[in-house]
Structure 1
Amino acid sequence: MASTEPTALASSTTSEIGAGTGKTVIHDSVVSKIAGIAAREVTGVYALGGGAARALGAIRNAISSTDLSQGVSVEVGETQVAVDISLVAEYPIELQKVADDVRFAVITAIESLVGMQVTEVNVTVNDVHIPSDDDSTDPAEARVQ
């Protein structure tokens, strides 16, 4: 769903110096990154992406290169954007609340930072993270840490 073409935005603000003297181009990857950052900041979001995307993200993290748009797909038009986000939620936080909070955060971030109208934010909860899953029961794994 992610488009690779940059998006040109017409400035609606005329009170700023230089307004109307050119066009602003915001690449779709920037919109995707902003949505990813906003979603990650929501309480109850453990991680973004599905299993394969998170595995690739773990490799990126190991080499200190985080993909902030992991699990986010955007479809950008002239003045509107639609967003699809897949995530892993924290247990026991209410999943509908997490999804609603992600929608609100993404819409707020894109509309305020990018200046585009968000037509929809589709949230897919791929998994639930249980804090006890982080505890290592294998003595060999405990030694590696």
Structure 2
Amino acid sequence: MPTDVKERPRVRERGATTIADRVVAKISAQAAREALGGVPKGGHPPHASVAVHRDAARISISLELDYPTDVGRRCGAVRGRVRGRVEELVGMEVHEVSVHVERLHSARTSSAAGKGRLE
């Protein structure tokens, strides 16, 4: 028998795993909710869009925050949580996490909006 014949790879070494962009987006949105500790009263939950190229992701998160708040600190917490959870759960490198604050929710504005006016 010739000795130069290559052995076939073991079963567990063959194949590939592909993670859909929408799965990474759902994980990202959930991680953003976790970082924020919930959704502002009258607000919408965070939404994520993702671009995956090979094993690296660029993530964009849109969210709403309570007012007043430390916007920079909260956005930094979201970026860190999203990056960490995607790397941990998917094993994908995260090159960028962009956070877009769509709206600030004030308790004062919310109560006034119910009366038809903003103060």
TM range (shorter): 0.7 to 0.9
Structure 2 partner of 1:35: 28
1:44/1:93 contact within 8 Å kept: no
1:85/1:124 contact within 8 Å kept: yes
1:6-17 matched pairs, under 5 angstroms? none
Structure 2 partner of 1:126: 102
Structure 1 length normalisation: TM-score?
A: 0.62
Aligned equivalents of 1:123 and 1:22: distance in 2? 35
Does the C-alpha gap of structure 1 residues 19 and 97 become closer, same or farther in structure 2, counting only changes over 3 Å? farther
Aligned equivalents of 1:89 and 1:45: distance in 2? 10
Does the C-alpha gap of structure 1 residues 134 and 19 become closer, same or farther in structure 2, counting only changes over 3 Å? farther
Q: State the SS of the aligned residue for 2:36.
A: coil
Q: State the SS of the aligned residue for 1:41.
A: helix
Larger Rg: 2
Structure 2 partner of 1:100: 76
Percent of matched pairs sharing the same residue: 35
Aligned equivalents of 1:43 and 1:85: distance in 2? 12
Give structure 1 regions of 4+ aligned residues with deviation exceeding 3 angstroms. Answer: 44-47, 132-138
1:68-79 matched pairs, under 5 angstroms? 71-79=47-55
Q: State the SS of the aligned residue for 2:81.
A: helix
Structure 2 length normalisation: TM-score?
A: 0.74
Q: State the SS of the aligned residue for 2:51.
A: strand
CA-CA distance at 1:41 after TM superposition: 1.2
Aligned equivalents of 2:13 and 2:33: distance in 1? 35
CA-CA distance at 1:133 after TM superposition: 3.7
Does the C-alpha gap of structure 1 residues 39 and 126 become closer, same or farther in structure 2, counting only changes over 3 Å? same
CA deviation vs aligned residue, 1:64-99 (integer Å, no higher than 9, x gap): xxxx7x621100010100001111111222000111
CA deviation vs aligned residue, 1:91-142 (integer Å, no higher than 9, x gap): 222000111000001000100000000000011112111123443754xxxx
CA-CA distance at 1:18 after TM superposition: 5.6
CA RMSD, 1 decimal: 2.5
Aligned equivalents of 2:11 and 2:63: distance in 1? 41
Q: Which runs of 5+ in 2 are unaligned?
A: 1-9
Aligned equivalents of 1:110 and 1:25: distance in 2? 14
